[in-house]
Amino acid sequence: MTSSKVRQRIIEVLIDWNKIIITVGAPLILLPLPVAAGTQESKCGFLVLLMAVYWMTEAIPLPVTGLLPIVFLPLMGIMDTAATCYPYMRDAIMIGLGGILVAIAVEHCNLHQRIALRVLLSVGTTPRWLMLGFMLTSTILSMWIGPTPTVAMMIPIVDSVLKELDNSIELPSMTLNY
């Protein structure tokens, strides 16, 4: 094997394994910071730099990167678990997260398409009645979930209605009469 082929193969392997290399290599490269200084600030700096590397390279998914402080701050003795988790677990955040999860579940089981078809069958296709159908659907949904998740759930419903309307509209023939 020639040296250019070897270099090319090494580059291909590095490209294929870049996320694993960054995930493992970044903490090893940054490890001297908390080990050498040993202060709370250096440990926190280690975590901030590690998260910055993971965030910029997306070596691990961004939601996982955002949750790293919950694991590392108590583990490194910077903050206790209750103080670390408090900003993540407020009541309003959990309500919104629960509503978003419900919206994802509705979309996953295609309930949004069934709701959209029911709205079309109930109110028709005129814009005035469609608006009433969406308003009633939003009202019923917002009885159980918050306003932001209701909007998140209504987006696929409206999208399904628009797709159904687009499929059902027949374009007039383009004949010219002279």
Tell me: the pLDDT tens digits for 133-150?
Answer: 888 888 888 887 778 778
Q: Are residues 45 and 118 in the same domain?
A: no
104 and 79 share a domain?
A: no
Of residues 85 and 47, the one with the higher pLDDT is 47
Give the residue among 19, 16, 13 at the shortest CA–CA distance from 56.
Answer: 19
Of 85, 108, 138, the one marking the end of a domain is: 85
Does residue 122 contact residue 140 with C-beta atoms inside 8 Å?
no
- Specify the pTM: 0.53
Which of 48, 66, 85 finishes a domain?
85
| 127 falls within a domain | yes
The answer to the question of residue 10 being in a domain is yes
* Alpha helices, DSSP H, located in 91-178: 91-108, 111-123, 127-142, 147-168
Shared domain for 8 and 78, answered yes or no, is yes
* Spatial contact of 60 and 23, defined as CB atoms under 8 Å apart: yes
Provide the domain limits for residue 160: 91-168
Q: Mean pLDDT for the chain?
A: 82
Determine, yes or no, domain membership for 21.
yes
